[in-house]
Amino acid sequence: MFKKLLNQAIVNFELVTQSPLYIKQNTSLLDPTAFDGTYISCYLDDQRIPIIPGTSMKGVFRSFFEKMLGEEACDILDTRQDSNKCLKTIKEYEEKLKSSNKKDKTNNFDEELEKLKDFSRGKLNYYLSCPACKVFGSQRLKSRMLFDDAKAKEGFKISSRSSTPIDRISGAAKEKGLNTFEYVDWGVFEAKVTLVNFFNWQLKLLLEIFERIDEGILTFGGYSSKGFGRMKVENVTIKVRYYGEMKGKAKDGYSQNALFAERVFNNKEVKEKLQSIDFLDKNQWAKVELKDEQIL
């Protein structure tokens, strides 16, 4: 984990199906092509309860943010140090810092470099990473947004449908290869996302993603072009905790204990508090001092 815990936002919510949700069977999670991070697969565990894996949810949320960022985001699937934007930048600065540490006065004075010299390794990697890596992590950076598996509550309904592959040339249905697939007809999934050592813009991003889900822009599971996978976010509670030097600053409405100050908000309350924050603002991304962040 992080060296020092300063804050946490524990976000509990429900995902309620608005259209059928495609079920990918457990075994297909072993298929590497199925895990391209662009959609959520829903699978059944041993007791046949539909589950949206946390890793898949994270993949969908991240790819949505990457689309908004465009060129600002690195290609997380590219893990080579010389071509992935973030890994490359970190490597370049490490080399620059190394050579400037040799007290070689021939180096031009670099203001930014001077500032970075005082950064810890973790802070340096965070500062140099793209906004998507800042939130969701990378090879060199811990994720600040952690996802639990979302399990369907009792009362869900599973149905199945057969899909007949059509021969593209003759148009005739192939006799072999008739397959059935299952889907969640109706279900409420209990989901949890935890932000650790978060900046306020990162919580704002999460609330924005919730809105896009409600609008049907972000869908879950396969066959979204056929109308599958639309969901609604309901019953959001946001438990915010401040530790260490942030703890004393959390006063209004917060309850204090020996470890932390805590307050529970609903979606609307946090949205109002974060109204002036733009998660696509470069000045927000450049922040590295968590203790200076405004208390919610």
User: What is the closest distance, in whole angstroms, from the C-beta atom of residue 133 to Zn ion in the complex?
Assistant: 3
Please identify, using beta-carbon distances, which residue of 86 and 290 lies nearer to Zn ion: 86
What binding mask, one character per residue, do residues 85-124 give for Zn ion by CB under 5 A, x or -? -x--------------------------------------
> In the bound complex, what is the minimum distance in angstroms from residue 138's beta carbon to Zn ion?
5
When asked if residue 128 is in the footprint of Zn ion (CB under 5 A), the reply is: no
Q: Are strands 43-44 and 50-52 parallel, antiparallel or unpaired?
A: antiparallel
Window of 12-20, 59-67, 79-87, 173-181 that interacts with Zn ion by CB under 5 A:
79-87
Phi-psi region of 37 (alpha: psi -120 to 50; beta: other; left: phi over 0): left
- The answer to whether the beta carbons of residues 188 and 15 sit under 8 Å apart is yes
Smallest distance from the beta carbon of 260 to Zn ion, in angstroms?
A: 30
Identified binder of Zn ion from the candidate list 90, 130, 135, 152, rule CB under 5 A: 130
152-to-57, 81, 143 alpha-carbon distances in Å: 14, 40, 25
How far apart, in Å, are the Cα atoms of 99 and each of 105, 196, 247?
10, 34, 39
Does residue 274 belong to the site contacting Zn ion (CB under 5 A)?
Answer: no
184 binds Zn ion (CB under 5 A): no
Is 133 a binder of Zn ion (CB under 5 A)?
Answer: yes
Residue 194, φ and ψ in degrees, nearest 5: -115, 125
Least distance CB 63 / Zn ion (angstroms): 13
Residue 196 pairs with which residues in a beta bridge? 8
Nearer to Zn ion, 76 or 261 (CB): 76
| Measured distance CA(274)–CA(268) in Å, rounded | 10
Instruction: Count residues binding Zn ion (CB under 5 A).
Output: 4
What is the bridge-based pairing of β-strands 50-52 and 145-147? unpaired
With CB under 5 A as the contact rule, the residue among 21, 74, 116, 184 that binds Zn ion is 74
261 binds Zn ion (CB under 5 A): no
Q: With binding defined as CB under 5 A, does residue 135 bind Zn ion?
A: no
Tell how far CA 90 is from the center of its chain: 22
Q: Strands 21-22 and 188-196, how do they pair? A: unpaired
Which residues in this chain contact Zn ion in the complex, by CB under 5 A?
A: 74, 86, 130, 133
